Amino acid sequence: MSDHALRLLREQPHLAELAAFPFNFDLARADHGEAVRLASGGPLEAVAGDDTGGTYFVCGDGSVLYADSEGSAGIIGNSVDEALEVLVGLPGWHDHLGLAPADGEEKIRAAVAETEEEIREYHGIDDERTELRAGLGLPERSPVELVGLLHAALLRTEPDFLLLNAEEGGAHALLDRHPRPPLWETVLARGRTDLTLLREGSAWDEMAEDRARRALALRAAQFDRREGDLPLLRHLLRHEAEASMTDELRLAAVLVGLYGQAEDLPLLYEVRETDFDTWCGLGGMPEPGADPAELRRWARGLDDSLFGTDPADEPLFTWTGLAHEQGLVELARAALIRRLDDIDFRAYCDARDGKAMERRDASQLSSLVHEFEQLGDSFQALRAQRLYVPLQTRAWDRVSALLRLARLEREESQFGAAIRTLTSLRDTLAEPDGGNGDGDGDSSLGHWQRTNLGAYIVEEHYAVARTAATDTALADEVRAVTVAAGELLARLSGTARANVERHLAGTTDIRTDTRTDIHADTDADPGAGVSAEPTPPQPSAG
């Protein structure tokens, strides 16, 4: 990608002045005013701006991303040279974001001519355009060609150039409103190709042994069902069982079962008995010797409740998971961020209107946290978890959610926030009903000291103390967390405490590293340090 024109603008002030006025590409306005970044983590350099507060960024591959002051962004050229061709050739390009080559030459030329006539009422553009094109070596293109370049560039914005607010994590809206194919269509394209190959008798073993391709082929078969597919479905089913219990294994069993063939009952039974997870996941399946009609009823019931024939009815997470498996990471990330932004906006509106956030978002938020963590995006996972925590009403669920929140804050080096979250967690352990004194009580945390949850709580306290110790401004808070960790460790049952100590033995021992400092600060009160004698476990309520 060429940056020839940008170099000339930086070297020749007269050309830079022409670009700034009347074509609104001003090198002196490169400060966007707020921190932004690409969701992909790719490089982004602000090179110019305009008089409306918009900014032109150059991305890692040379593409130019324009972000306006209203929270929208889009690619406007494959290079600075191409972007300047558009800006100089279409000085009213903002008015042409809705145009596309499909609109036809007559409509495009009429729209461009109308906009340019309006501009000429205030200042010249014709002689200036000729001079700047010559100075930068830009070709003279027709309005139709330029609209085509702009349109093609805009369609490349998402997913690879999704622009985020760097602090809050929300995504900018698309600069244009051109329709894009739905997520499922892009994800399913490879599966449809592979399904065709399978039907032609090609690459059965190669495809069946590739988990990502196998899953996509099964999804393609879900939405394009044909009578002759039973042999290939049996083949995919056998191989999918090797991955243990997956949604696609259940789908394969359903697709085979819908044929209602008695000879498939032994195969389905064998698949169900693969391991405990498949036994549970395929529960209710008829056993060998059952009436084939019973098999068909079982398959239809699952098909109606879980699958169906319309890809648009599938949950978002089906497609983001399959996109991730294909290596389409940015496609998955962009779709997940857009969904999180929708939930975040609803939460903002609810808070503004004095309403509680809807609990229907809780399961989606939990899935979003999981999916973002699978993508290695702890920043977005943290956004989702912060929305998820207030929706938890049961004490056990609140503590579990706070524990995960603290871990994500720690992973994002937000140590002060993690310490405050752990304080809230301990408050919930002390008063599971929130201290409201309503007498209802909440017994869900009655035996947390004997559970993995208790062990994880202690381990996270030590982990936060260990990592936050690098921040000298938090020295007092780190000591407090370390003391709290020791007190919580002492409350664990013998088995849980031993497990934690074995786990901590494999890490830098924060207790050993900081205990000297703790006792140095608490010599006046010998009982203020970490308890040496753990509290004996209480008898089980059961």
pLDDT digits (tens, 9 = 90+) for 160-173: 999 999 999 999 99
Tokens 């100590």 found at: 501
258-280 pLDDT, tens digit each: 999 999 999 999 999 999 999 99
What local confidence, expressed as pLDDT, does residue 435 receive? 56
373-426 pLDDT, tens digit each: 999 999 999 999 999 999 999 999 999 999 999 999 999 999 999 999 999 999
**CA gap 514, 522 in Å, rounded:** 13
What local confidence, expressed as pLDDT, does residue 277 receive? 95
Positions of E strands within 60-166: 64-67, 72-77, 163-165
Average pLDDT in the chain: 91
Residue 539 has pLDDT above 60, yes or no: no
Q: Cβ(217)–Cβ(326) under 8 Å? A: no
Write out the two tokens for 500.
Answer: 């934690």
Sheet of strand 72-77, all strands in order from the earlier edge strand to the far edge: 44-49, 55-59, 64-67, 72-77, 173-174
Q: Name the burial class of residue 365, with classes exposed (0-12), middle (13-18) and buried (19+) by CB atoms within 10 angstroms of its CB.
A: buried
**CA gap 118, 141 in Å, rounded:** 21
Tokens 């042999």 found at: 231
What local confidence, expressed as pLDDT, does residue 2 receive? 62
Closest of 248, 187, 195 to residue 226, by C-alpha: 195
What local confidence, expressed as pLDDT, does residue 131 receive? 98
Residue 505 has pLDDT above 90, yes or no: no
Positions of E strands within 293-419: none
Residue 64 has pLDDT above 90, yes or no: yes
* Count of CA atoms in the C-beta half-sphere (13 A) of 59: 28
Closest of 166, 97, 94, 86 to residue 132, by C-alpha: 86
What local confidence, expressed as pLDDT, does residue 173 receive? 98
Give the pLDDT band (50/70/90) at residue 434: low
- In the chain, the amino acid numbered 147 is V
Distances, alpha carbon 172 to alpha carbons 36, 65, 142, 165, 392, in Å: 10, 12, 31, 7, 30
Give the N- to C-terminal CA distance of the chain in Å, as an integer. 71
Distances, alpha carbon 3 to alpha carbons 8, 137, 149, 155, in Å: 9, 12, 17, 22
183-232 pLDDT, tens digit each: 999 999 999 999 999 999 999 999 999 999 999 999 999 999 999 999 99
Write out the two tokens for 443.
Answer: 């017994």
What local confidence, expressed as pLDDT, does residue 410 receive? 98
Residue 509 has pLDDT above 80, yes or no: no
Q: Cβ(41)–Cβ(56) under 8 Å? A: no
What local confidence, expressed as pLDDT, does residue 95 receive? 96
